[in-house]
Amino acid sequence: MSATHYIDGKWVSGAGDDCITVYNPALGEPFAELVAASPLQVDQAICVARKALKDWRDMSSARRAAYLRGFAEQIELRRESLITLQMENNGKPRQEAVVDIDDAVATFTYYAGLAERLDDEQNSDVPLAVTGFNSCTRVESIGVVGLIVPWNFPLVTSAWKLAPALAAGCTVVLKPSEITPLIEQTYGHIADVLGLPAGVLNIVGGKAETGAALSNHPGIDKLSFTGSNAVGSEVMRSSAKHCRPVTLELGGKSAILVFEDCDVDQAVEWIVSGICWNAGQMCSATSRLLVHDSIANELALGLKSAFEKLRMGNPLLVEIDMGPISSHAQWSKVRAYFDIALTEGLQCLTGGKLLDSPGWFVNPTIYVDVPLTSRLWTEEIFGPVLCTHRFSSEAEAVALANASHFGLVATVISADLVRAERVANALEVGHVWINSIQAVFVETSWGGTKGSGIGRELGPWGLSSYQSIKHVTRCLD
């Protein structure tokens, strides 16, 4: 077990109580082990981040931007090895792993562009309604930030947090998921190559003990978390004790609304992508299909055929359309929902069972005409499980879509663009796609309403979440 944690510009071995085994989910076999960081090592990381804060915050924004561009360039140089690691540790099909790397590169490039302008935008005048005073605005680093990221999109989710935090002048302690701890170490290796000042970026891996040590620590000024609602509630509780800001990107149970005037074949493609990308392990998975009654049967037949044609297997060996579930625990959870469906008497159109092969595979699954009271309709499964329900009017479709404790995303499919935009405006979510795959751009925001979280990532909103506003006002007399 090698040195796998990055603290104060040095690689160190873990001193925690937990041993982390890293698996290839397509085989269900381990391929790496590491020892978690201890709470004392988390404390050390936060202390050195505090020590490094002033110089990094006071550095010209143009120099910080140059470091961010360096991260983008170095990720690109490591493209093939990172794609392979995503395939090996997450089980992602190659085409999905490629999108992940492109996303990380684009994120660092985008925030480098925003960082370059920060100094020029400082001390902007504020128009005042009274005379005799002058006031200007300063936008400053919020301080030392803790970042806790999940396993379903490693490297990507961390880029969404790390790039704007560094751009804003924050120093960082990053905690990767214990399921996918290896790819995030890339950031430490890049920091070494770029000569990033020691303490600006720290990476501490581990399980719940490590995460709790970070989220409960009084030495951080903000915490950003992406993950489950259960853990998000604990993170929010710990932040409340210290009265510090928190960004939470949590769960979803998103709807895809399909109207009677759609191209059914095209709708099938968008629906499959929305629930089977990353084997459905997405907070944004459109797992609730609301379909107009007049096309429900035709659409169901098209979906059944498409689901049953999806190729699954080890992405390192064969070309696949959908990979395995990324961990044994999540595989067991999906399996449990198959049992719940049987207990509830749901009508399974296809799937509903595990794949008879090595590794943690499940068949992509469709349940039709699912009651609104079903646990599969209301609870986030985080797997390739689609539930359908019929509607007869636009108003009914919108009401059904909004009847959820979550509010992350939605998709609207209709040939009537006026109607599609009207529906999009009525949906209580953070992002809506119209006649599209779930295309996510760094320039747009990411985040939701209701139980889907607090705050926004990406775009200028992602940067502002790591900034503090100061006004300087003086009397002119």
Averaged pLDDT for residues 241-248:
95
pLDDT of residue 113: 98
pLDDT category of residue 380 using cuts at 50, 70 and 90:
very high
Q: For residue range 286-316, what is the model confidence (pLDDT) as tens digits?
A: 999 999 999 999 999 999 999 999 999 999 9
Looking at the chain, which residues constitute the CATH 3.40.605.10 domain(s)?
Answer: 5-250+452-475
Confidence (pLDDT) at 418: 98
Active-site residue 249, yes or no? yes
Q: Please enumerate in sequence order all residues whose Cβ is within 8 A of that of 130, keeping only pairs 6 or more positions apart, or say none.
A: none
Judge whether residue 1 has pLDDT over 60: no
DSSP-derived letter for residue 122 is: T
CATH architecture of 255-441: 3-Layer(aba) Sandwich (3.40)
Distances (CA, A) of 164 to 121, 231, 233: 16, 23, 24
CA distance 239 to 400: 34
Which range, of 75-89, 169-183, 230-244, 281-295, averages the lowest pLDDT? Answer: 230-244
Average pLDDT over residues 383-394: 98
Where in the chain is CATH 3.40.309.10?
Answer: 255-441
Among the listed ranges 187-191, 232-236, 370-374, 394-398, which one has the minimum average pLDDT value? 232-236
Q: Which of 249, 380, 387, 457 is labelled catalytic?
A: 249
Q: Tens digit of pLDDT for each residue in 302-355? A: 999 999 999 999 999 999 999 999 999 999 999 999 999 999 999 999 999 998
How far is residue 246's CA from residue 237's CA, in Å, rounded to a whole number? 10
Q: What CATH fold (topology level) applies to the domain 5-250+452-475?
A: Aldehyde Dehydrogenase; Chain A, domain 1 (3.40.605)
Q: What is the pLDDT of residues 5-37, one digit of tens each?
A: 999 999 999 999 999 999 999 999 999 999 999
Q: Is 19 a catalytic residue?
A: no
Q: How many residues does this entry show for the chain?
A: 477
Sheet holding 201-203, edge to edge: 10-12, 5-7, 201-203, 171-175, 144-148, 222-226, 246-249, 453-454
- Cβ contacts of residue 254 below 8 Å, gap of 6+? 274, 284, 285, 286, 287, 288, 406, 408, 409, 410, 411, 429
State how far Cα 415 lies from the chain centre.
30
Could you tell me the pLDDT band of residue 104, with boundaries at 50, 70 and 90? very high
Decide: helix, strand or coil at residue 344. helix
Contacts with 441 (C-beta within 8 Å, 6 or more apart), sequence order:
458
Task: Catalytic residue, from 47, 262, 276, 283: name it.
Answer: 283
Average pLDDT of the residues of the chain: 97
Given this model, what pLDDT does residue 357 score? 86
